[in-house]
Every structure is written in C-alpha cells, then in structure tokens.
Chains A and B, each alone.
Chain A
Amino acid sequence: MYAEVAIDERVKSRNAEPVSRGNIYTLRRLGAAQGGGLVVALIGISIYFSFMSVAFLTRANFTVILLQSSILGIVAVPGAMLLVSGALDLSVGSLAGLAAASFGTFNQIFGIPLGWSIVLTLAVGATWGLGNGILVSYFRCSPVIVTLAGYSAAAGVAQLITNENTRYSFGPAFAVLGNGVEFGIPVPVIIFSFVFVVGAYAWYRTPIGRHLIGIGANRDAAMAAGVPVSRLPCIIYVLSGTAAAAGGLILTSQLNAASVQIGLGLELQVLTAILLGGVAFNGGRGSLWGTLAGILFIGVLNNGLTLINVGPYIASICIGGALLLAAVLDVVYRHLENVPAREPLIDTHVDTQEESGHDAPHAISVTAGSSRAWEGG
C-alpha cells in the first residue's frame, strides 16, 4: 500500500501527537460504513424478536417482511439518489395515489387494455417526475417547494379524475403484480430486488453514484469537473416519479381497488428510511446499502412488534427514536469528516501570519480539515 511506503521521519515524528487520535480514525472508518450502526441495530432487534416470538425467524415471516418493505424500497432507491444529490421528492405519495386513479380511469373508463394501462400509468409518473426535475435541476427551484406543490397538486388531480369514486376489480392478470408469487418469491419483492440491484450497480459501479455525491457536496466543483449537474438529478426525478407510479400500481393490485388514498404518507416513510440509512439531509454523503438497512429496519421493527403483540404506536415511537439517534450521529459524522488526514503534505497547521501580504486569505481553509471555509469560498 502507498500509505506504508509514504512513512518517513516526518510521519514518525507525528506519532508524538495525542494517542486519542487513533480512536477518531477508527470512528471515522465506522462512519465511512454509513448505516453501519443501523446494521448492528437491525441484527440486534432481529435477535431480540427471534427470542420473543417463534414465528419471527421463519422463511414465511421473512417473506412477509420483504413484501411489506418492497413498495417503500422501490421508491426509496431513486429517493436516496435524490437526497444524496441535495434534492428530494415529497410528491411520491401523492403520485402513487395519482397512479392508482390514472390506472383505474385508463383501464375501466377508457377501456384501455391492461398492459397499456400500466405503461400509461408509469408514463404519468415519469412525466410528473420530469416536471419536478426540470423545475429543480434546470430552473434551480427549491426541491422542497416544487415537490411539496406536487404533493398537493397530484393528490388533487387524482381526486378530480376519479370524482371520488374508487374503481374495483381489475381481474386476475393484474392481481399477479401485487399478490403473485414466482419461484417462491412474491412479485413485488422480485420487482424491488431488481430495482435495488440496478440502483446499487448505478451507485457503486458506474460514475453515477459519485457524481450524485459530488453534486450534493459541492455542486460548483462537480460542474467544473464536467459532471452533468442538471441532467443527472433531472433523470433521477423521472425515475422517482416512475417508481412512485409503480408503487401505486402494486398497491392497487394488492387491494384490487384503485384508491387515491393508497400513497398516503409514503413520502415521509421513504424519507425516514433514507435518513435512517445515513444519507445526509443536505446531500453529499450517504450510501444505498445504508438505505436498504433503513428500509429493512422499519420493516423488521413493524413486523416484530406486531408479532409480540405490541401495538403500532410503539413501532412509531421506536422509529422516531431511531431517527433522532440518526440526527445526532449525522452531526458526529460531520465532525469526523473534518479530522485531518494522517500524513500531512508538510505541515497540517499553518499560521496565517506567515503569509506575506495579500488580501484573500479567506478563500482557502488555513487549518487542516475545516472544510467549511473553502466550501463557502
């Protein structure tokens, strides 16, 4: 490794520094595995529930947990990508409802065949997502305001087109989408797995992941580096809208009813899972594996507490508590990121007084690790 080669007298002399430094580096490594703490918590509650309920640690129950998490998961994959790039999508819940309403209308009122109704419904979600994306990425509108408007407007449009009539009975072929089982796995779980695998590939194996992180952490730097800072988040918005519509379709299939209410609160559940997974609310830091841990944490908690006959209120309290813990950990991670690297170029600490007279010392951070100064510059 390069690190070992680089060790010389200067590095040795630095070992005279306080010993406690070592702990900070260990902590930072933990922080680097974002959501690492959540994985530990996930294993912890799983062990707890398996002792408390014989039904918990069964294949059937595991399938149930995944099934209950799949819609949240499908929407959370593009959601995490948006959040890490410094954007967010609050319209997904209403878009799921709009998708249900659109599908019912396409299929039963216009008499469009099932397959085309599904395609058109996904297109409705994609189009709404494109609108969000253009306003946020190209017009630089606030993502919170734009998608909050979508949250309100999409729900209104859904009510308007259904005229508050819920459509029922879409036939056995459509029921497969939400209730079908292929190769022993429920269809929604298969869809979620596919979405996650594609998302994880894009995040970790293509430049997309680091580009999104770059846009979230330092948009100017990403732009100067040639990252498509407007196009990329815009595409993710389209995917987010499409995923929300897909979630709405799966729910409609499960209920065999196209209710405009189905997506209620989905946007906040998605946001909760992503934030639990360690994606920074302001973007620039996070991982998709952490998001998966967040999704499963919520799924396991809800499932386990139901199995041991503790009401859903306790689950809500636990999720709230975990989120508060995540907020505290977020601050800790931010501090750890500012700890200077091990082997400095020459001197880690520089005295400004040494610099001969000019008037722009504010542009670059003087002391190692204080990234704020230069980010703001």
Chain B
Amino acid sequence: MKLRPFRLTLLGLTCLIPAALGAVLLFLALFSWPAIRFNGIGFLLSETWSLGNLYADPVKQGGMLVPIGASYGILVFLVGTLATSAIALLIAVPVSLGVAMFLAEGVSPRLRGGLALIVEMLAVVPSVVYGLWGVTVLVPLVAHVLAPALSDAIGFIPFFRVTSGSGFGLFAAALVLTLMVVPIITTTVLDALTRVPREAKEAAYALGTTRFEMVRKAMLPMVRPSIVGAVILGLGRALGETMAVLMVSGGALNYLPGTINSPVSTMASFIVSQLDSAEQDPTGMAVRSLAEIALVLFIITVVVNVIARLMVRGVGKPARV
C-alpha cells in the first residue's frame, strides 16, 4: 500500500477535530472529578450554592479540603436554563411555523427571498448585540408593557401574576432566546416546505381545500421530521446561549423563579459571573464545581444535539446553522 502523503495530511488535520472534543471532555471530567465526588447527587438537587466562608480556614469534609460551609447545588441554574429554553420554544415554535407557512405559501415567490432574508438576519446578529438591545430596549419594555399586560390577561394563574420587578428576569431572557431560535426553526421548515412536491399540493386542492388548509393539513405533516429536528436544534442553541442571557436575566441566586418576571440564572451565564469569585477559594473546590457545571451543560447539549441530528437526517444535509 502506497504511502499517500496528501491523504495522510488531510487525515491528520481531520483527526484534530475529534481530538479537540476529546480534550475538552477529558479535561472537564478529570478536573471536576474531585467536585463530583464531594458534591454527589445533591449537586443537581440542591437549591443552595454557597462557596462557604472564604475568610475562615478550610476544613476537611468528605475526605477533601473545602471552605467551611461550602455547599454546591445547581438546581436554581438547571431550572433557570430549562425554564428559559422551554418558554422560548413555547413561543418560538408556533411563531416560526407561522412565519414558515407565510413565506412558503402566503407570499409570491418573488417576495419570498427578501422576506426570508429578514428572518435570517436574526441568526446573524451576535449574541452580545442581542444583549445590548435587550438591556436598552427589551428589559424596559418587559417591565413597563409586556409583563403587566401578561399579568392582566392571564394573571389568574399565579405564575403570571406580576406585581413588581424590573424587566430583568425569566421573561426577558426567554424572549431574547426566542429571537435566536426562530431563524433556526423557520429556515429549516421553510426549506422543507419548499421541497414538498407539487403533486402533493395539487392532490390536496383536488379535495377542495383552501390554500391555508392545504398547508396546514397536507404540507406540515409531510415535513414533521424536519420540524421536530429543527425544534430540538433550536433547543440546543437556547441551552448553550450565554452572553445575551447574562445581560438580561437578573442573576438570581439561591431561589427558584416564582413568577414569569423573576430573576433567573442559567448554567452558562452563572459560569461567567461566578468564575472570579470561585478563584478566591484557596482549596480549588469552587473552580472544580464550576467545571462540573460546565460538564453537566456539555452533556445536556450533546444529548440534545445528538437527538436533533438523528432527526434532521438527510443525505449530507445538516440543518442550516
């Protein structure tokens, strides 16, 4: 067998890709292992995140040196992450489907390109610019208009009864995530809808449906795998979002959100805001617990992305990023 230097060079470069992932996973696992042992399952279930008394001498607990009173629990951040993503998807899915339907069948093909471009602009805006807009425009809007309106409309549900609060919180974070997720779902579904064969559409018309009914009852079911895959991809994006959420979420600690306007913290935003505090811990347990959060986040996003990719299968066609 000839030594093919060109192919080998390419192979070498390609191997760096799994090597990078492996390095990150290995590092996170090894670095956080002492924290995993110290925290146990309470890590995922406890509402209290306390770095302990960093100005007193560390004590030995569970065989490891930790600050006195240290107790690492991420339930608040898990809930924050899942709640912001769930509400974002709840809003984004119907909106995206509506937009996709509108663009696929509701406008003439000439307009479609330009209007679709507007939606794709949402995907182009960097996260930190979303944060900038969020702090300047969205948060006051939520505080003065959206949250009170929601409270007036469905305030009989305690979760939506909002009496006070700045705009920084669950609602604002979810809205920002919605805007980031919409282009992902819309472009994928739109793409799938435009590929629906003409015969299928004509068959529906032959049965006497209106255009809207045709789209809803004939086309959408045909593209359901794409929809599901796109939704899960959007979920993956929402779970990992950091900067925009950090700027509008309000930074909650040690309590779960009580209303839709409550401040929250997500795992990703918490890592950013806690890193320098964690470095004050001379025992190093705090930094390792942060790495454990990163590991949990890593595992969750991997699982979600795997499910998404399996569903948006298509020959060499990953969902549009």
> Is this pair of chains taken from one and the same complex?
no
Chain B residues with a Cβ under 8 A of chain A: none
